[in-house]
Amino acid sequence: MTNLIAGRHSKLNLEKVAVLLVQHNKAELDILSQTMAGLGVWSTRKCVGASEAQHIASAHEIDLMVVEANLPGVDGYDLVRELRRSQSVSRRAAVIILSGHTAKRDVERARDCGANFILAKPITPNVLFDRILWLARERRAFVDCDSYSGPDRRFRKLGPPAGTAGRRRDDLPAEVGAATQPNLSQDDINAMLKPQKVSL
């Protein structure tokens, strides 16, 4: 992921980033490839199955993989898990999984297989770029242990990287400060809590 380096602002030069796209639908693969080209990616490799993706990832150093979750045979989650466990030169590549469903169990599967993100399809170029920018700015350690290999999963409460839109754990000050408006009277509070009759 050495080529995923963000600038000081929201600019990101993707010319030297080696990207691997894995989709079983060739039309979607072409659209995704064109989207990446529109974001400034010059080096894109495309494949339609897990075995081809494993071969490319072991033969070439990849910086970013965008993987379809619902691949035939070995699905995207298993592909990422196998890649992380392998001795491939690309085992530490940033990984975004694309899925038609992002239910909690799918998000957890993506997290536990070693992916950096899961995105719901259909994706837009803006959302994809925002996630790539997020990847370029994040500083999660890569963890290798008996039960897991991948980016540190203990980041849920930290929020997005500094400089990226979204709430972070440390966005709000620890102290509340003085009130800026007068307190409500007890009559006002009682009026708000009193059940109201509603006519339908």
Q: What is the pLDDT of residues 2-47, one digit of tens each?
A: 455 444 345 678 889 999 999 999 999 999 999 999 999 999 999 9
Percent of the chain with pLDDT over 90: 50
**Beta strand residue intervals within the chain, DSSP E:** 18-22, 43-47, 64-68, 94-99, 117-120, 142-144, 149-151
pTM for this model (two decimals): 0.74
**E strand or H helix that includes residue 44:** strand 43-47
Cβ atoms of 18 and 60 closer than 8 Å: yes
State the Cα–Cα distance between residues 185 and 13, nearest whole angstrom. Answer: 57
Whether residue 157 has pLDDT greater than 70: no
| Count of CB atoms situated within 10 Å of the CB of 44 | 17
**Selected residue with higher pLDDT from 139 and 28:** 28
Burial class (CB in 10 A: 0-12, 13-18, 19+), 103: exposed
| Count of CB atoms situated within 10 Å of the CB of 137 | 16
State the Cα–Cα distance between residues 194 and 175, nearest whole angstrom. Answer: 32
Whether residue 183 has pLDDT greater than 60: yes
One-letter amino acid at 196 equals Q
Q: Give domain limits for the chain.
A: 18-151
- Provide the CA 57 distance to its chain's centre, in angstroms: 20
Return the pLDDT at 138.
76
- Angle, helix 104-113 to helix 76-85, in steps of 10 degrees: 20
CA neighbours closer than 13 Å in the CB half-sphere of residue 15: 2
Point out which residues pair with 150 in neighbouring strands.
143
User: Tokens 């897990």 map to which residue?
Assistant: 50
Percent of the chain with pLDDT over 70: 80
**Selected residue with higher pLDDT from 199 and 148:** 148
CATH topology (fold) of 18-151: Rossmann fold (3.40.50)
